[in-house]
Amino acid sequence: MRSTLLYAYVLVSSLILVLGCRSDPVKPVVPITGFDLVAESAGGFHTCGVVQSGQAYCWGKNESGQLGNGTTTNSAVPVPVAGDLRFASVSAGGEYTCALTQTGEAYCWGRNLSGQLGDGTTEDRAAPVAVAGGLAYTEVSAGGSHTCAITPGGQAYCWGSNAYGQLGDGTMSYSAVPVPVAGGLTFISINTGGDFTCGVAADGAAYCWGRNTSGQLGGAPGESSAVPVPVAGGLTFSYVSAGGRHSCGLATDGRVHCWGDNAYGQLGDGTRTSSNVPVPVATSLTFSAVSAGDDHACSMTAEGQVYCWGKNLSGQVGDDSRSDRHAPVPVVTGGFAFASVSAGGSHSCGVPLGLGAWCWGRNEFGALGDGTGNDSRIPVPVASP
């Protein structure tokens, strides 16, 4: 019954638009689609998602095999990841992708120059390969060229590039297999950025490690760290997202705080002044999720409304403009609510309940998945595979 009513609403809404009823700002037409994701992730120039059956799909740039379909051919529409694996989550990184199976095994594919696939080699892979070590994980995060994951017991492991200490093992030597993060901390979440990593410990304290040229570790300015350092301010977080050179954290009270580079307003505090300590995003809204991209960030309220801020040259903020935003602005939608949101390199994606997947921003390599190479300043529906 609910499905029937939804499709009726969609049909009526589409007819109204066709008949010429216009609104300002422009709102995307809501299509009927069968491509319903349960998880999605926006990477550098590609995007990946998982459907209910556990099949993973990717779209966009594929020069290093990051779409995982056995080729290195770009695709502007979703293509299935090769093999018969069934996944529970997926994380799209710079030029590679990692995912967890429904039983917690980690697999990666794509670029592997620094060992970021974790299979013990530095060979690119155009289809999934198992991460070495045989550990089970509850979360995996693919960054610029390094990967981190946490076990069911909260132990953190990382692998890949380590020039700035982003593996957190106390060294600056890369590793093509998982190595434990130093310090004996127990984590409830972990997220990798460009050349750094952040995680939330069991007590809600945030820690970051790796490159710190823009204050993205949230502690001492200018000094990289090869071991976790606490984020200043004494806030308790439920999640921290590491972006290109900035970080954003969701505090336990629902407020979002960001720190690091702010050249495009990606800290969302209404300024373009960088900060090496957390500053509150300029809004009275509370949120249930946050995602930091290269130079922008997006957050979602408990009701499913998405707000973005920061660099907007390609329309990645989703407010039907190309103007950088120094504070949160609502993403233009057709009135639907999102269940999740992910900020990537220069594009963003979200999954509304029952309405497929939507992306907006840069689309040079097909990362929006709409079958074109055209940028979009508002969400466009990802084509059904």
Q: Does residue 209 sit in helix, strand or coil?
A: strand
Lowest mean pLDDT among 15-24, 74-83, 134-143, 174-183: 15-24
Edge-to-edge strand ranges of the sheet holding 96-101: 87-92, 96-101, 106-110, 125-130
Residues 200 and 187: beta-carbon distance below 8 Å: yes
The answer for residues whose C-beta is within 8 angstroms of residue 26's C-beta and 6 or more apart is 320, 332, 378
Omega into 31 within 30° of 0, i.e. cis?
no
Residues 36 and 350: beta-carbon distance below 8 Å: no
What pLDDT sits at residue 12? 32
Question: Which of the pair, 356 or 345, is modelled with greater confidence?
Answer: 345
What pLDDT sits at residue 355? 77
Q: In this structure, is residue 272 part of a structural domain?
A: yes
Residue 16, pLDDT > 60, answer no
What pLDDT sits at residue 54? 95
Is the overall model pTM greater than 0.85, yes or no? yes
Alpha helices, H only, the chain? 2-18
CA torsion, points 278, 284, 288, 294, in degrees to nearest 10?
-50
Q: In this structure, is residue 13 part of a structural domain?
A: no
Residue 28, pLDDT > 70, answer no
Q: In this structure, is residue 351 part of a structural domain?
A: yes
pLDDT grade for 354, boundaries at 50, 70 and 90: confident
Specify the CATH number for the domain of residue 148: 2.130.10.30
* Residue 313 domain boundaries: 32-381
Distance CA 73, CA 313 (A): 26
Domain count, the chain: 1
Q: In this structure, is residue 1 part of a structural domain?
A: no
Q: Beta strand pairing status for 338-343 and 96-101?
A: unpaired
CB count within 10 Å of CB 255 equals: 17
Per-residue exposure over 193-202, b if at least 16 CB sit within 10 Å of its own CB, e if not? bbbbbbbbbe
Q: In this structure, is residue 155 part of a structural domain?
A: yes
HSE-CB of 121 using CA atoms within 13 angstroms: 10
Lowest mean pLDDT among 28-42, 259-273, 280-294, 369-383: 28-42
What pLDDT sits at residue 19? 33
Distance CA 329, CA 117 (A): 36
Mean pLDDT of the chain: 92
Q: In this structure, is residue 20 part of a structural domain?
A: no
> For the chain, what percent of residues have pLDDT higher than 90?
86
What pLDDT sits at residue 21? 38
Six-digit token pair at 95?
Answer: 């030029």
